[in-house]
Amino acid sequence: MKYCPAIVGLQLDEKSLAAIDNINDIHDVTKLGKITILIGQLLTIFAGNTVRTSGSGIRLIEDSLVWKTVSSDSSQTGWAITQTNWEYFFASFGSLEVYARRQIETIAGIEAYRTWNDPKQQSFWRAIHNGCKVK
């Protein structure tokens, strides 16, 4: 990873600022995706795939949106943990990062091409596209 260049007097135009907002949105969606995958995995382990009404699983409490997740016993939970495909779970986390990185590279590449007449902006976007690292 290269270090980011020091660009003195950089003035970003409106389209560049919008592109930075898009990049920030990508980071936010990636975080939300990780949380969603984690919650889904936990629900699969502790609640199972079915709704049980005999005191275990997921049930709606008093017609509200409050969900209660309880496993019927420790052996059922243990079995669910051993049967979970952890390889896919961790691969999905990694895939979110790869997807986010590719989207950011695409945005930065487009912006570097668009700002060909402004050397400072182009240098900024090329650095982002190449994955520079802030010291």
Does residue 34 register a pLDDT over 80? yes
pLDDT score of 89: 80
Q: What's the chain's average pLDDT?
A: 79
Does residue 87 register a pLDDT over 50? yes
> pLDDT per residue over 95-112, tens digit each?
999 999 999 999 999 999
Q: What band does 40 get if pLDDT is binned at 50, 70 and 90?
A: confident
Name the residue ranges covered by the structural domains of the chain.
14-129
Could you give the CA distance from residue 76 to residue 92 in angstroms, rounded to a whole number? Answer: 25
Residue 101 φ then ψ, to 5°: -60, -45
Listed as own residue / partner, the contacts of 90-95 with beta carbons closer than 8 Å and 24 or more positions apart are: 92/37, 93/34, 93/37
Does residue 16 register a pLDDT over 60? yes
pLDDT score of 48: 63
- In sequence order, the β-bridge partners of residue 68 are 59
SS3 content of the chain, % helix, strand, coil (to 5): 60, 5, 30
- Residue in this structure with the two tokens 């936010």, named with its chain if needed: 28
